[in-house]
Amino acid sequence: MKLNISDTFNSQLPSDPNTENTRRKVFEAMYSYVKPKVPSNPQLIHYSLEMVKAIGLDGNDTDSQDFLKVFSGSNVCPETKPYAMAYAGHQFGSWAGQLGDGRAINLFEVEHNQKRWALQLKGAGETPYSRQGDGLAVLRSSIREYLCSEAMFHLGVPTTRALSLVISGDEVLRDMLYDGNAAYETGAIVCRVAPTFIRFGNFELFAARQDYKNLKELTDYTLKYFYPELGKPSKDSYIKLFQEVAHRTLEMIIHWQRIGFVHGVMNTDNMSILGLTIDYGPYGWLEGFDFGWTPNTTDRQNKRYRYGNQPNIGLWNLLQLANALYPLVEESDPFETILKQYQTDFESKSLKMMRSKLGLIIEDKKDVHLMTDLEDCLLLSETDMTIFFRLLSGYKKGDAETGLKKVEKAFYNPTEISDAVAEQWKVWFRSYDQRLRRETLTDQERQAHMNSVNPKYVLRNYMAQLAIDEADKGNYDLIDELFNLLKKPYDEQPEYQKWFAKRPEWARHKVGCSMLSCSS
């Protein structure tokens, strides 16, 4: 196994001089050296061939002992120095102070095809940032992260990627529902991959401590390696950096809204400086369309991270990043302008996104009403978001009176479709039909457009759970099936039609399907 190792983060930025693996506060350093825990009996369960190739390896390498050893944490590659990153963050709206990679260990960076990739093991043991945790991850949450991050990529959403899924051979104690019923679960390790794993929280850590030297160094490093087009370090390029991060964050969240993805824990330590979806924990997919839905039981009371609030939280998180970068600029106006722009852009971009979901090309300001009326209809009875939009693409101009028939498979409980409900839908279909008449696309062309933004297949909460249940019995076939299915989420794939189905009733209130906690 030959990798083109090209470390920058741990070769150019200050390290914690203390190399012991003890939990502590770390000052004036961006990371601490730490070795992964050696797993007792590692087993490679799955890998992403695309990512294997992206980092410069080929399929044969995955059969090697080397591959297993490096990506399970058994062996450290020669001349590399694994480390855990230091960061802070705001969690659920409150300042949480130092957090850091408590269960993630960065192995190294590679360069391949002019791309830089950082490789990180999640669940490879404790680090100086583990606080009260054990640094480990369980199989269920590792399967969820592994499958979802690759699925998100293929849905066209900016995201960290996954290289491999390994079972460690060790048992991990978890209180899944925080109700005092802890149990041993299978331990696992995901190797995840991104150009960098720097988060908003890395900047917040130094700003909070008024360590402006390191704040500047981190920002300059970020500019140099990940935003070189913004120019050399200066007040101007720092502002541009913030502008670009705001832009990317909004783009990412608009994608989430388009496909019905709810992150679940949008704390600032889970916000990537590259605008990537990061840290797949208690995330979920909207089944019934509902702005108020969150899969995260830890957030059940306030629902801070509910579907409809994600764009606002993006803004709130960007404000924290602005506060962190402010000492480098010492002017608040540019930050305020960018944050205001986020709000205007949000309006126009979500309208544009909704237009695309409805197959509308012409821009009309009045479309807002069509969208809000549709949202009202979707809330009349429990309506599966993914199925609704996919079926809507089959609508034919002039069919307003029977439009509802086309989408009725999206309704969870057809008996809820009373005459009054059906009438409200009919009214909406009439205005949709009128609006479509102003478009020039044929029904067929519109369908193709719509099917390229409305996925047929997403990683429904129960699907991941089925793969987990099978894996717990030692059968990993379903992981492979879902992995392959989700490589082409916009394609019809008739052989996988069974996955184009509403959540089954058994999954409605099942732990792991609709209820997830941060305990992973």
CA 468 to chain CA centroid, Å, is 19
Binding to Mg ion by residue 382, rule CB under 5 A? no
Residue 269 bears catalytic tag: yes
Structure tokens at 286: 């909207």
From 14-22, 62-70, 100-108, 408-416, span contacting ligand AMP (CB under 6 A): 100-108
Binding to ligand AMP by residue 171, rule CB under 6 A? no
CA distance 376 to 409: 18
Q: Nearest to Mg ion by Cβ — which residue?
A: 279
**Is the CB of 49 or the CB of 183 nearer to ligand AMP?**
183
Among 36, 73, 128, 135, binds ligand AMP (CB under 6 A): 135
The letter for the amino acid at 177 is: L
Question: What spatial distance separates the first Cα and last Cα of the chain, rounded to whole Å?
Answer: 31
281's contact among Mg ion, ligand AMP, none, with CB below 5 to 8 A by partner kind, is ligand AMP
Residue with tokens 């969820």: 144
Structure tokens at 205: 């850590």
Binding to Mg ion by residue 279, rule CB under 5 A? yes
Could you tell me the smallest distance in angstroms from the CB atom of residue 315 to ligand AMP?
20
CA distances from 501 to 294, 384, 403, 511, 513 (A): 21, 9, 20, 20, 15
Binding to ligand AMP by residue 145, rule CB under 6 A? no
Question: Do 439 and 361 meet the contact criterion of CB atoms below 8 Å apart?
Answer: yes
From 39-47, 271-279, 353-361, 503-511, span contacting Mg ion (CB under 5 A): 271-279
Evaluated on CA atoms 169, 136, 118, 191, the torsion sign reads positive
Binding to ligand AMP by residue 169, rule CB under 6 A? no
Binding to Mg ion by residue 130, rule CB under 5 A? no
- Count of residues that bind ligand AMP according to CB under 6 A: 18
Could you tell me the smallest distance in angstroms from the CB atom of residue 277 to Mg ion?
12
128 CB neighbour count, 10 Å cutoff: 27
Binding to ligand AMP by residue 317, rule CB under 6 A? no
Nearest to 263 by CA among 228, 226, 307: 307
Among 14, 56, 97, 102, binds ligand AMP (CB under 6 A): 102
Binding to Mg ion by residue 202, rule CB under 5 A? no
Task: Choose, from 220, 269, 299, 384, the residue flagged as catalytic.
Answer: 269
Question: Do 118 and 197 meet the contact criterion of CB atoms below 8 Å apart?
Answer: yes
Torsion of Cα atoms, 267 then 95 then 181 then 307, to 10°: -30
Active-site annotation, residues? 269
- Residues contributing to the site for ligand AMP (CB under 6 A): 99-103, 129-131, 133-136, 265, 269-270, 279, 281, 518
